[in-house]
């Protein structure tokens, strides 16, 4: 029984030339890419996660075909990787993402083809894996409550524990392997309990794409390793069961780019074909199968070369092959409701249709990474786990909104054919976003004529609270220059106001404790005007 493979090896070997033919072609092409890489002799300053991500592709290709070229190239990768004294250099060597990625990838190599390596090379690999897993586990034991050891809503937590578990399962004879898998299983129990049941990710779509595949990978590890906790690893994970719907409704019209709530530093880092396949297979989601196929056919290579997240989608070829289930019938989302809300994140997204030229609005109203992490994180902090609710990849963007008109990302909405502002109050009433959002975008008093546009508060809202400007006159650089306001009190936040290509957000916003909504504040607090107490002001 092999990790992530189980008892399917013979069937997968047959599928290379049948049902999985296109996935194997991707796998082979990725192996050819690996063969062209110059491997480091010394640890570079940059991340080396790509070394861990690339090794399983070569190992799986050899396991499926028996062709010696793959194994020869894999041995080159193993020698270079194991020769590095540390995994990670500039940030937390041996105890963060580099170590997690490499532990996971090389553990799969050991499990799949370790017995085919020369004895000295296998001993080298096993010793290096044990050393690095020991360092990860020591970090966990010494840093409970600090950073990723207990940061349940953070992708660093998911990645590092998955790497630790993979080594434990790949080295069953090691005296500490049970400690490593048990620590990861205990963390997985916390994740199943604490991550929002509606599947929304407060880190945003970019880190959803980067982090959530690891939740699926660890669940798959536990199941294929016959861990007692692996039997219901997918069945009992409500977040995983629902998270595809979050991702679908955070797709911009056309499905190629994303809605950029949270930590989304670009709009082309949103797709994981492998994860779509896995969610489709585990939960019978035909729409996930459909989106995986669409991305693979139309959008994959642009994301591969333009995404700002590394190591990116290309090294996931082995997961695409293993997680593809040809029995899942693709289902277009065209018949689905065009809006959906996610209560934990205070997120509502709606569009006029699923067509590529649709109009769309998405509004986020929760604090930090969501109501659950906000509430439970404070409770954990009170118990001494002071960094358990680390929001390193979430933004204080409660009250932020994104509007896309006619499928494009220009920072304006289309005017109506009659030449008057769209009735945005009616627009938002139809989406059910609530009174706070009804007032957020409206026809301003100073809309230029004769071609009025949809308007929003000026970026200079603190200094000129009554001034409103036409969206078409707001350019992203101006928005960015004015987006650095600080928190003025415990309950009032400065909210992100823009990005490189979209009109987003307003500021300031006010979080109403216990209500679960954010009310836009277009006038400055009294504190800003005359030094008085912080109090909510009415919209103009």
Domains and CATH numbers, the chain: 1-194 (1.50.10.100), 342-404 (no CATH)
The answer to whether the CB of 24 falls within 8 A of the CB of 321 is yes
Q: The whole model's pTM is what?
A: 0.79
pLDDT at 470 over 60: no
Strands (E), 448-501: 455-457, 468-470, 492-493
Q: How far apart are CA 59 and CA 117, in angstroms?
A: 11
pLDDT at 380 over 90: no
Instruction: Please give the biggest Cα pair distance in the chain.
Output: 80
Q: How far apart are CA 89 and CA 102, in angstroms?
A: 13
DSSP class per residue in 43-112: --SS--HHHHHHHHHHHHHHHHH--HHHHHHHHHHHHHHHH-S-S-SSSSTTSSHHHHHHHHHHHHHHHH
How many percent of the chain have pLDDT more than 90?
61
Most confident of the ranges 262-266, 394-398, 472-476: 262-266
pLDDT at 102 over 50: yes
**Stated length of the chain:** 540
- Write down the pLDDT at residue 407: 55
The token pair at 410 is 């220009």
According to DSSP, residue 154 is labeled: S
Question: What's the pLDDT tens digit per position in 23-51?
Answer: 999 999 999 999 999 999 999 999 999 99
How many percent of the chain have pLDDT more than 70?
74
pLDDT at 205 over 90: yes
Mean pLDDT of 117-135: 98
Q: How far apart are CA 355 and CA 333, in angstroms?
A: 10
- The dihedral through the CA atoms of 334, 339, 340, 346 has a sign that is positive
Say which range, 18-22, 217-221, 353-357, 462-466, has the weakest mean pLDDT. Answer: 462-466
- Write down the pLDDT at residue 496: 28
Mean pLDDT of 70-82: 98
Question: What's the pLDDT tens digit per position in 289-313?
Answer: 999 999 999 999 999 999 888 899 9
271 contact partners, CB below 8 Å, separation of at least 6: 209, 295, 299, 300, 303, 313
Q: Cα–Cα distances in Å, from 131 out to 103, 124, 279? A: 10, 11, 33
DSSP class per residue in 397-442: -TT-EEEEBTTB--SSPPPPTTSS---HHHHHHHHT--HHHHTTSB
Q: How confident is the model at residue 473 (pLDDT cuts 50, 70, 90)?
A: very low
More confident residue, 520 or 353: 353
- Write down the pLDDT at residue 399: 74
pLDDT at 377 over 70: yes
Element (DSSP H or E) covering residue 161: helix 155-170
Residue with tokens 């994104």: 402
> Which of 160, 200, 194 is closest to 180 using CA atoms?
160
Question: What's the pLDDT tens digit per position in 174-192?
Answer: 999 999 999 999 999 999 9
Residues paired with 402 in a beta bridge: 362, 504
Most confident of the ranges 161-165, 388-392, 425-429: 161-165
pLDDT at 478 over 70: no
Residues paired with 342 in a beta bridge: 347
Question: What's the pLDDT tens digit per position in 240-291?
Answer: 999 999 999 999 999 999 998 888 878 889 999 999 999 999 999 999 999 9
Mean pLDDT of 350-371: 87
Residues paired with 405 in a beta bridge: 408
- Write down the pLDDT at residue 406: 64
- Write down the pLDDT at residue 298: 96
> Which of 246, 233, 304 is closest to 276 using CA atoms?
246
Pairing type for strands 347-351 and 339-342 reads antiparallel
């Amino acid at each position: 029984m092999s990790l992530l493979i189980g008892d399917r090896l013979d069937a997968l070997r047959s599928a290379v030339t049948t049902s999985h033919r296109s996935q194997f072609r991707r796998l082979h092409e990725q192996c050819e890419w690996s063969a062209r890489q110059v491997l480091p002799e010394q640890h570079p300053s940059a991340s080396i996660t790509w070394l861990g991500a690339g090794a399983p592709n070569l190992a799986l290709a050899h396991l499926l075909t028996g062709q010696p070229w793959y194994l020869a190239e894999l041995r080159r990768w193993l020698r270079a990787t194991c020769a590095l004294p540390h995994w990670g250099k500039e940030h937390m060597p041996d105890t963060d993402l580099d170590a997690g990625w490499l532990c996971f990838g090389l553990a799969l190599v050991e499990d799949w083809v370790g017995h085919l390596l020369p004895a000295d090379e296998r001993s080298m690999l096993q010793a290096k894996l044990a050393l690095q897993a020991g360092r990860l586990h020591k970090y966990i034991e010494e840093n409970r409550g600090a950073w990723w050891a207990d940061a349940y809503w953070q992708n660093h937590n998911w990645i590092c524990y998955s790497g630790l578990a993979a080594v434990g399962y790949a080295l069953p004879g090691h005296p500490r392997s049970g400690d490593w898998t048990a620590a990861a299983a205990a963390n997985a129990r916390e994740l199943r309990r604490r991550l929002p049941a509606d599947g929304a990710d407060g880190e945003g779509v970019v880190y959803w794409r980067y982090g959530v595949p690891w939740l699926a990978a660890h669940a798959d590890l536990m199941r294929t390793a016959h861990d007692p906790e692996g039997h219901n690893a997918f069945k009992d994970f409500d977040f995983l069961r629902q998270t595809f719907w979050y991702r679908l409704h955070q797709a911009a019209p056309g499905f190629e780019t994303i809605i950029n709530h949270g930590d989304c530093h670009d709009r082309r880092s949103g797709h994981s074909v492998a994860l779509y396949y896995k969610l489709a297979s585990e939960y019978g989601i035909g729409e996930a199968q459909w989106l995986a196929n669409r991305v693979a056919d139309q959008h994959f290579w642009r994301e591969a070369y333009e995404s700002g997240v590394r190591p990116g989608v290309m090294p996931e070829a082995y997961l695409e092959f293993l997680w593809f289930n040809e029995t899942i019938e693709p289902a277009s989302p065209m018949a689905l409701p065009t809006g959906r809300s996610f209560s934990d994140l205070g997120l509502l997204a709606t569009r006029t249709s699923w067509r590529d030229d649709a109009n769309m609005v998405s509004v986020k109203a929760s604090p930090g990474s969501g109501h659950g992490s906000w509430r439970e994180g404070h409770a954990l902090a009170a118990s001494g786990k002071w960094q358990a609710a680390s929001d390193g990849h979430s933004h204080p963007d409660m009250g932020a909104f994104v509007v896309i008109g006619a499928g494009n990302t220009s920072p304006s909405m289309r005017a109506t054919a009659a030449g008057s502002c769209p009735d945005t109050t009616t627009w938002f009433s139809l989406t059910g976003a609530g009174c706070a959002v009804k007032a957020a975008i409206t026809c301003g008093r100073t809309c230029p004529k004769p071609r009025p546009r949809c308007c929003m508060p000026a970026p200079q809202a603190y200094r000129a609270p009554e001034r409103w400007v036409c969206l078409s006159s707001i350019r992203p650089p101006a928005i960015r220059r004015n987006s650095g306001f600080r928190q003025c009190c415990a309950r009032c936040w400065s909210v992100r106001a823009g990005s490189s290509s979209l009109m987003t957000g307003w500021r300031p916003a006010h979080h109403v404790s216990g209500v679960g909504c954010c009310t836009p504040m277009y006038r400055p607090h009294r504190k800003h005007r005359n030094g008085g107490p912080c109090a909510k002001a009415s919209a103009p």
